[in-house]
Amino acid sequence: MNREFLSVDNMPFCGGCGHRTVAQSLEKALGRMKDLNPLDVVVVTDIGCIGIIDKQFKTHTVHGLHGRSTALAAGISMGLSEENKKVITLIGDGGATIGLQHVIEAAQRNIDMTVIVHNNMLYGMTGGQPSGLTPCGFKTPIMPEGKPMRGHDLCKLVHAAGAPYARRLIAIGDFSDVIEEALKIKGFSFIEAMEICPSYGLKYNPTRKLHEIAEEAGLEIKLWENKIGQRDDNSYRHVTINSLFDEIQPLEVNFKSDFRGRYSLLLSGSAGEGVQSAAELLSKAVISCGLSATKKGTYPVTVGVGFSTSEVIISSDPILFTGISSPDAVIVVSKDGLNKVKSSVSEMRQGFLYIDSDLNAPETKAKILSSDFRKPFGAKSAALLALLLFLSREKLIPVEALSEQVKASGIGKKIDIEKLLSCLKD
């Protein structure tokens, strides 16, 4: 197998950029690690100049959102069962500033991964703004007089968080031996590669050298180690987490339905009156008849007031698209619900509008069926009563399928389903 991990030809970086030097040393370090193949490596890059290197890698690559690459890499590492895999995050100082919490948490949890921060002391891709790592006095386009406060010392922060390995280096020459050392750490390893951006850093700090900048800023070029917290001590690798799907009990098919095709329904009422619960019970009832169903809810962020609308799709085939362009039926049980779906109802050219008798139906081509949904047993039962009346008329599925779902749910202890069913006989 070709063991080239990274093509170092035609690198996308500016001339003189330290990102190129880091990439070349990383390729050498990976190449020296025996029994490691490109597909054993997952490289997660961040937004910024470092992110344009993706196409050079022959490994697995993931491109993260700004500052989130460490969190993505941590999740990947924690999900891998094979310990011979290598997960590497390449992130700039801007991304590390935005995602500082992710870096600290990964270090604290001793996630088995290597984070390489390309610290060129500013946001290079967006015009040279200072980052949280920009040293005091370092000049940038928007701070030509120099940054007035000192930057974070990331190596000290991750060391304090418990990282087994944290090293700051000057990204000049070949430092592949250092990267190899970090990659071999059992647990979290961290490298801060100090660079200077050739486009903005050199322009505004033309006479300063990297060593001098680091020394003046109090940024030691050294290794920090924690002897405790090696990979074998990590609890996260010894915790068995069950899949969330394990807790889901499949619905049994206990009823039959002759319905064939696709049917879309809007159920609209007021928040806190059981609209979403009723729609969910209907969906389960549909599935208990051997059909497919989807349910989507819409309501304000203030979930206890205003409208509450649910979309339910019923199909004899698998549902691959859950959108509704024009519903086959709309059920409205309150004024809030009517206000929410009034425009949809007005645009209907066919189908049915089931509406509470106290409400005025809007102009529509849909057939209007008015009935008392709220009066018999109150607002809390209105949506469920309306669905029972709807099913008794449309006969998409047996009414009993829904009543059984109600009885089996917690709602069945609060609502007397037999009383609701008695309304169907009137």
Give the helix ranges, DSSP H, for 228-334: 275-287
DSSP per-residue string spanning 340-383: HHHHHHHT-SSSEEEEETTSPPPS-SSEEEEE-SSTTT-GGGHH
Q: What φ, ψ does residue 327 adopt, rounded to 5°?
A: -70, 155
Has residue 335 got a pLDDT over 70? yes
- Amino acid 347: pLDDT: 96
Are 385 and 368 in contact by the 8 Å Cβ rule? The answer is no
pLDDT of residue 238: 55
Give the 3-state secondary structure of residue 115. strand
Give the residue with greater pLDDT, 358 vs 238.
Answer: 358
The residues pairing with 41 across neighbouring beta strands, listed in sequence order, are 86
φ/ψ (deg, to 5) at 379 = -65, -35
What's residue 3's pLDDT?
75
Residue 314 near residue 342 (C-beta atoms within 8 A): no
Q: What are phi and psi of 313, to 5 degrees?
A: -115, 130
Contact status, residue 33 vs residue 179, Cβ threshold 8 Å: no
pLDDT class of 404 with cuts at 50, 70, 90:
very high
Q: In what order do the strands lie in the sheet with 223-225?
A: 60-63, 41-45, 86-92, 113-119, 188-194, 165-170, 223-225
**What's the confidence (pLDDT) of residue 302?**
72
Specify the pLDDT at position 245: 79
| Residues 260-294 pLDDT 10s | 999 999 999 999 999 999 999 999 999 999 999 99
**55 burial type by CB count under 10 A (0-12 exposed, 13-18 middle, 19+ buried):** exposed
Cα→Cα distances 352→25, 170, 266, 329, 332, Å: 69, 72, 11, 5, 11
**d(C-alpha 379, C-alpha 314), whole Å:** 25
User: What pLDDT digit, counting tens, does each position of 344-372 carry?
Assistant: 999 999 999 999 999 999 999 999 999 99
The pLDDT of residue 425 is above 90: no
User: What beta strand segments (E) does 223-363 contain?
Assistant: 223-225, 262-270, 292-298, 307-315, 329-332, 352-356
The answer, yes or no, to whether residue 232 has pLDDT greater than 60, is no
Question: What are the two backbone dihedrals, phi and then psi, of residue 386, each rounded to the nearest 5 degrees?
Answer: -65, -40
User: What would the mean pLDDT of 54-70 be, rounded to a whole number?
Assistant: 95
**How much is the pLDDT for 228?**
62
Exposed e or buried b for every residue in 359-378, given b needs 16+ CB within 10 A? bebbebebeeeebbbbeebe
Q: What pLDDT, on a 0 to 100 scale, did the predictor assign at position 247?
A: 80
Dig out the tokens for 124 from the structure: 């290079």
Question: How many other CB atoms are there within 10 angstroms of residue 185's CB atom?
Answer: 19
How far apart CA 139 and CA 83 sit, in angstroms, is 43
Which contiguous run of DSSP H or E holds residue 63? Answer: strand 60-63
pLDDT at 9: 86
Answer yes or no: is pLDDT of 229 > 60.
no
pLDDT (0 to 100) of residue 261: 97
Element (H, E) at 18: helix 18-32
125 contacts 48 by C-beta, under 8 angstroms: yes
- 292-298 and 223-225 as β-strands: parallel, antiparallel, unpaired? unpaired
Residue 262: how many other CB atoms lie within 10 Å: 15
Identify the CA nearest to 143 among candidates 130, 156, 126. Answer: 130
Say how far apart CA 31 and CA 135 lie, in whole Å. 34
pLDDT for the residue 241: 67
Q: What is the pLDDT of residue 384?
A: 97
pTM of the model: 0.65
Residue 422 CA: distances (Å) to CA of 140, 144, 376, 425, 426: 77, 80, 11, 6, 7
Distance CA 217, CA 135 (A): 6
What's the rounded mean pLDDT across residues 329-357? Answer: 97
Q: Is residue 237 predicted with pLDDT exceeding 80? A: no
Compute the average pLDDT of residues 29-37.
93
Residue 300 confidence (pLDDT) above 90: no
Q: In the predicted model, what is the mean pLDDT of residues 172-195?
A: 96
Q: What is the pLDDT of residues 142-155, one digit of tens each?
A: 999 999 999 999 99
378-389 pLDDT per residue, tens: 999 999 999 999
User: Is residue 129's pLDDT more than 90?
Assistant: yes
